[in-house]
Structure 1
Amino acid sequence: MRISLFAIGIAGVTALGFPAPGIAQESADQRLGTVHFETSCNEIAQRRFDRAMRYQHSFWYTASRDIYEEVLKADPACAIAYWGIALSYLNNPHGPIPAPNLPLGLAAIEQAKAVGAGTQRERVYIDALSVMYLDYEKVPHQARVQSYLKAMEALAGRYPGDDEAQIYYAIALNVAASPSDKTYANQLKGAAILEPIFLRQPQHPGVAHYLIHLYDYPPIAAKGLPAALRYAKIAPNAPHAQHMPSHIFTRVGYWKESTAANLASVQAAKQGKEVGDQLHGEDYLVYAYLQLGQDQEALAVIRDIEAAQPDPDAFAAAFSQGAAPARYMVERGDWGGAASLDVKPSKFPHAMAISHFARAIGAARSGKIDAAKLDTAKLAELRDKLREAKNDYWAGQVDVQAKIAGAWVLYATGQRDDALKAMSSAVDAEDATEKAPVTPGPLAPARELYGFMLLDCGMAKEALAVFEATMAKEPNRFNGYVGAATAAQLSGDAAKAKAFYARLIDLAAESNSDRPALAAARSFVASN
């Protein structure tokens, strides 16, 4: 799979006619790609606007906002610059707008309307974005997202020759997509819009960036390899451009490529003092290191994450600070360590839920049933809090966590049949949705945890089928190979066990881990 996917990716890059990697570009701004967004503003303002858009398309919001302000200094009548400012206040459009940004974005939209758009096209852009801010205190975020999608569809239809309209419509399709739609209709529609533009504008940062987002789903992830292999070269100075390819690399199990991408991203983010980008990249970095069995490297990154002091309104940062330490315990099967994790206070219930989830599983699996029940109850409380806040997506994610935790509590109390039924239900619930872009994945796939429960019950054949199904969706995971190899061995299929153990050994060839599974793998392969 690894060789064939890279062949596909490299062939795609060659077919697109991209220049050879490493071609020097003359300025820092040019090292963010090439964008032209036609405006009615004066020549200086136009150049500055294009410059701001290069930052904007790589989600470098503070920098883009500063440059939009420079646009207004060059041309105070450039109303579309206020649209740009409002756009920057969205932050990552795949999540809710940070609460402090809502009145600021609304003020920018109102100022754009007060100044007056220079053309009808610019007026339509301003009106389309306005729905993300108007009545934000009354209209839920997801309802505003759906209204924005309709507005962008109309804009793109009205101006079919405007690539920027098509690009922003395409990413709106992804943002507004239902996480329960397993046909990926929105995503494939958006990708079909962007692929021809990618041929025309191979240096456009937004096209490569948004193609990665649109293909960031297990069944279609391989289609994102050409964009993933290209984006960091288009915008090498942008921290987010260095990070984003790892979304696809994670989906296809390219851990070394993911670590390289995120090391570059973290370095760029630190240089730019972008703490949110730093922590987001580090979360993905920890995930990849743990799959390679490079536990010491993962632990060093976690210490860096824990020492950071991000903006309390930055969700990706809060998520990283909750997820990374929990991943370290759960992936390594350190159940006592998981049970004793600290819960870092956060304004985001779903960030704190990660710690409670790890604590609940860890306590249940280390015989601390009362503690496991307390953390499971806390998950239910956080889920209900999210439901009350109309945050349906994250309420659903925390509900899956509560189901898994509850299943392990049942298992720990000897109710094995009920526990297996509860785990099966959790697997179905997780399958019915998708992970958020903020995370490389759950602490452990529900189906993988189900497989280990089946193994513990002595149901090796059933467990093997479950692990093989898990690997189809979450390829090249360390514990996926461990579970499959163990299940095959206990089922009496020595050849399949040897094959899985060999893949584990290859995966962890540079591991410094003392995980018992590695020693068992080497011993089995050597004796078979």
Structure 2
Amino acid sequence: MRASLVRHAIALAAAAVAATALAHGDGSPGKLGSVHFQVGCNAAAQREIDLAMAYYHSFAMEQVKAPLERALQADSGCGMAHWVRALASLDNPFGWPGNVSAKTLAEGAELMAQARRTGLQSERERDYVDALDVFFRDADKLNHATRAKALEAALRAVATRHADDTEATILHSLVLSATFDPADKQYRNQLQAASQLEPVFKRQPDHPGVAHYLIHSYDYPPLAAKGLSAAQRYSKIAPAAAHAQHMPSHIFTRVGAWQDSVEANTASARADSATGWNTLHAYDYLVYAHLQMGQDQAARKVDASAKALAGTPDHPAAAYAYAAIPARLVLERGDWAAAAKLPLSPAAGSYPWAKYPHAEASNAYARALGAAATKDAEAVAAELARLQALRDRAGELKLGYWVEQIGIQMDVVRGLAAAKRGDSDGLAALRRAAEREDASEKNAVTPGPLLPAREVLAGMLLEAGQAGDALREFEAVLGKEPNRLRAMAGAALAAERGGEAAKARGYNDRIARQTAQADTGIQGLQLARLSVTR
């Protein structure tokens, strides 16, 4: 035991020595982790390339630009500066293809040519440029999926050819994990990426990208516990990066560690000095966590802060948060009347919602659920028509994943409306919607579904007096979304009505502990029950 502790202390000391103190683009001190992306440029340019890549590995894409400009000032023949700019222009790969415009693709192709003209100093640099170029090449002829797969294969070849270059392995793992198949419940891409990153993490414990991409690779219900080590380290590796403060909450959300999520996202919003979208993304996760602990007043304050954010950032994650946060406030509490009248904020006309139909769908889904629950057939029809239009728009934008998600939302609404009318097919329709949702995966932009389809099914089974079936469905939700307050309350009620007193007490005890710091003015247990029975 003593030898193990000594080895652990030595490892921690070595990690501390290895950590690299970097600086923000404005010159103020900050820490982004230890990154060295070797290029054949002079020493001053090399330092700037390392800084740019440190920003990239925490998805601080706007902050990548300044060090690259300084790199070219220091060494006008540093062609890899153009390569890094092109890489960063593609934004977060987990947001592909929606966050990559035709303009970006055209500019990226020119940056590849510029990198070659400016000068590449080695076969390795030429390999990197050739690999990234496949994503831009023939973008007008080849679809995104084909080009993304080609990029993944090209980066794999770079990593294989230059086995001593861990940066190639890290970047390949990122793209491999990001191009996963949402229907693959074996998580092949994600687990392969993690298997490549784990050994690097042991050798380079202060590399921000390794910890970051491990979290993304493990951001799935059956895998989440594997990501706790990376989650607990990432914020300490890169304390100057807002995204590094937020990303651990992806794992905390998956395991139901709500207070940890609150702390992570509060720190993320505080650290976000360069963009507004990181703050809004953190706010969505923060609201979700507060609501799971019965902290509704705190959640409403976050909503107010989101609405007051200057500049209304134009970004996919920002758009999603703007629409999702108000929807969560009403749906998590089963406030159907408020849901049915939920306004879209920022209002249409003051925000480019046409670019983000999947985000606006959050508002339409909440309104449709409210209308279905209150048996307003006319409003249900209107919101279903709106969802269909948004789904069509997502198709035009080639957002295939979101086309499917909006389709699931429409199925849930139709099933709920039918069940509320007493139609015999209502429950069966909800079950089909739940199975369809379970067959997909949540996107990284969201902490979870606005209202899980299976939870809607469970609620209607409870309402229909089928307590045993309702309990099974609520527990299935909890298997995927641990410590979800509404599902725990539903399980407690179903167990109580089904005569399973011990199980009901167990859930009630868990709810009482989870809502010990509820700030709503009523007991957390009462609030949780109201969320299901309202």
Q: TM-score, normalised by structure 2?
A: 0.91
* Structure 1 position 124 matched with structure 2 position 106: no
Equivalent residue, structure 1, for 2:27:
none
Show the counterpart of 2:384.
Answer: 376
Deviations 1:450-493 (CA, angstroms, capped at 9, x unpaired) = 11011011110000011111111110011011000000011011
Q: Give the CA deviation at 1:117.
A: 1.5
Q: Residue 401 of structure 2 aligns with which residue? A: 393
Cα distance in 2 for partners of 1:16, 1:158 equals 33
Q: CA deviation at 1:330?
A: 0.2
Code of the residue aligned with 2:361 in structure 1: it is: A
Deviation at 1:133, TM superposition (A): 2.1
Q: CA deviation at 1:389?
A: 3.3
Contact kept? 2:512, 2:524, Cα under 8 Å: no
8 Å contact from structure 1 (residues 373, 409) kept in 2: no
Distance across 2 between alignment mates of 1:26 and 1:354: 41
Equivalent-residue separation in structure 2 for 1:147 and 1:315 (angstroms) = 25
How many Å separate the matches in 1 of 2:290 and 2:246? 15
Partner of 2:184: 181
Q: CA offset at residue 514 of structure 1? A: 5.4
Cα offset for 1:52? Answer: 1.3
The one-character-per-residue Cα deviations of 1:178-214 (angstroms, maximum 9, x if unpaired) are: 0110001111111010111001101100000000000
What is the root-mean-square deviation in Å for CA atoms of aligned residues? Answer: 2.3
User: How many residues get paired?
Assistant: 509
Mapped to 2, the partners of 1:120 and 1:54 lie a distance apart of 23
**Mapped partners of 2:377, 2:275: distance in 1:** 41
**Partner of residue 160 from structure 2, selected from 154, 157, 161:** 157
Secondary structure, aligned partner of 2:278: helix
Q: Secondary structure at the match of 2:139?
A: coil
1:306 equivalent to 2:314? Answer: no
In structure 2, list runs of 5 or more residues that go unmatched. 25-29
2:58 is aligned to 58
Give the equivalent residue in structure 2 for 1:4. Answer: none
Match of 1:147 in 2: 150
2:228 pairs with 1:225: yes
Indicate the residue corresponding to 1:293 in structure 2: 294
Inter-CA distance 81–339: structure 2 relative to 1 (3 Å threshold): same
When residues 195 and 499 of structure 1 are mapped into structure 2, their CA distance, relative to the original with a 3 A threshold, is: same
Instruction: Name the amino acid aligned to 1:333.
Output: G
- The 1:63/1:389 distance shift into structure 2, 3 A limit, reads closer
Matched, 1:45 2:45: yes
Partner secondary structure for residue 438 of structure 1: coil
Shift of residue 422 of structure 1?
0.8
Shift of residue 309 of structure 1?
A: 4.7
8 A Cα contact 2:294 2:527, kept in partner: no
TM-score (norm 1): 0.92
SS in 1 for 2:483: coil
From 470, 476, 481, the equivalent of 1:463 is 470
Range 374-383 or range 417-426, more displaced: 374-383
Output the CA distance in 1 between the equivalents of 2:169 and 2:312.
Answer: 33
Report the residue type matching 1:378 in the other structure. R
CA 1:385–1:253: 2 relative to 1, 3 Å: same
CA distance in structure 1 between the aligned counterparts of 2:219 and 2:307, rounded to whole angstroms: 28
1:98 equivalent in alignment to 2:106: no
3-state SS, counterpart of residue 56 of structure 1: helix
Give per-residue Cα distances to partners, 1:310-366, cap 9 Å, x unaligned. Answer: 566410000000000001110011111111111343121101111000000011112
Alpha-carbon offset, residue 38 of structure 1: 0.9
Structure 1 residue 273: Cα displacement:
3.4
Say if 2:193 is the partner of 1:190.
yes
Question: Which string of whole-angstrom CA distances, capped at 9 and with x for unpartnered residues, describes residues 272-321 of structure 1?
Answer: 13101010011100010010110000001111112225566410000000
Moved over 6 A (4+): 20-25, 520-523
Unmatched segments (≥5 aa) in structure 1: 1-10, 524-528
Question: Given the alignment, which residue of 475, 484, 489 partners 2:491?
Answer: 484
Q: Secondary structure of 1:216's partner?
A: coil
Q: Find the partner of 1:411 among 397, 419, 423.
A: 419
Give the letter aligned to residue 153 of structure 2: K
Letter in 2 for 1:114: R
Aligned: 1:442 with 2:449 = yes
**Aligned amino acid, residue 429 of structure 1:** R
Matched residue type, 1:69: E
Shift of 1:435: 0.5
- Structure 1 residue 18 and structure 2 residue 12: aligned? yes
**SS of the residue 1:177 aligns to:** coil
Asked whether the equivalents of residues 49 and 71 of structure 1 are also in contact (C-alpha less than 8 Å), the reply is yes
What's the offset of the Cα at 1:411? Answer: 1.9
Partner residue in 2 for 1:264: 267
Q: Does 244-253 or 417-426 show the bigger shift?
A: 417-426
CA distance in structure 1 between the partners assigned to 2:133 and 2:310 by the alignment: 33
- One-letter amino acid of the counterpart of residue 229, structure 1: Q
C-alpha displacement at 1:113, in angstroms?
Answer: 2.2
How many Å separate the matches in 2 of 1:277 and 1:521? Answer: 30
Maintained 8 Å contact 1:292/1:508: yes
The answer on whether the counterparts of 1:505 and 1:521 sit within 8 Å (CA) in structure 2 is no
Partner residue in 2 for 1:3: none
Query: Contact 2:341–2:367 at 8 Å: present in 1 too?
Result: yes
- Cα offset, 1:409, TM superposition: 1.5
Post-superposition Cα deviations, 1:478-526, rounded to whole Å, max 9, x if no partner, equal 1011000000011011111111011111110000225787228899xxx
- Structure 1 CA distance for aligned equivalents of residues 157 and 76 of structure 2: 28
- Deviation of residue 16 (structure 1)? 9.9
Q: 8 Å contact 1:32–1:234 — kept in the other structure?
A: yes
Secondary structure of the residue aligned to 2:415 is helix
1:201 to 201, 204, 207: 204
The match for 2:69 is 69
Shift, 1:106, TM fit? 2.7
User: How far is the alpha carbon of 1:14 from its aligned partner?
Assistant: 5.7
Decide whether the 8 Å contact of 1:250 with 1:440 is kept in 2: yes
Q: Distance in 2 between matches of 1:20 and 1:40?
A: 28
Identity of aligned residues (%): 46
Residue 367 (1) aligns with residue 375 (2): yes
